[in-house]
Amino acid sequence: MTASEIVKQLLEKTVAGRASIEYLSAAEPVRLHTVEGFAQCIVRFTTDLSYLTNWGTPLLFGPGSILDAHTSHERIAKSELTRAVEDYVALVRHLVRQC
């Protein structure tokens, strides 16, 4: 049984017919590749990265706050954008050395 099936089962048992539940989507937890020397964190948000399996090992990395991502107030400071370019260059160099 997948994690999302377990959650659905627990939710339906808890609701016990007192409300209707409509599932619009479900995504399983994703364990992503990490790169030494780059900050990592675990977040409770979803990503479509697990559907992009033809592109090799997935990396989820970028500037800005996860709390602003894909919202009406999504934004990053110019300084964050500049830093992101430097980080992407460093990431590519690190990965190329691993090959």
In the predicted structure, residue 1 carries a pLDDT above the cut 80: yes
- Residue range 9-58, pLDDT digits in tens: 999 999 999 999 999 988 888 888 889 888 888 888 888 887 887 878 88
Question: Are 25 and 38 in the same domain?
Answer: no
One domain for residues 6 and 49? no
Q: Would you tell me how many other CB atoms lie within 10 Å of the CB of residue 84?
A: 15
Looking at the fold, whether 21 and 41 belong to one and the same domain comes out as no
The count of domains in the chain is: 2
Which pLDDT belongs to residue 86? 95
Q: Are residues 37 and 10 in the same domain?
A: no
- How far is Cα 28 from Cα 40, in angstroms, rounded to an integer? 19
> Does position 70 have pLDDT exceeding 80, yes or no?
yes
pLDDT the model gives residue 55: 78
- Whether 20 and 59 map to the same domain: the answer is no
Choice between 85 and 54, residue whose per-residue pLDDT is larger: 85
- pLDDT of amino acid 69: 86
Mean pLDDT in residue range 54-63: 84
Q: Are residues 79 and 61 in the same domain?
A: yes
**Are both 44 and 92 inside the same structural domain?**
yes
Let me know: does 32 contact 60? Beta carbons within 8 Å. Answer: yes
Let me know whether 25 and 35 are in one domain: no
**Are residues 5 and 35 both part of a single domain?**
no
0.85 exceeded by the pTM?
no
State whether 10 and 36 are in the same domain.
Answer: no
- The boundaries of the domain holding residue 64 are 31-98
Q: Let me know whether 25 and 39 are in one domain.
A: no
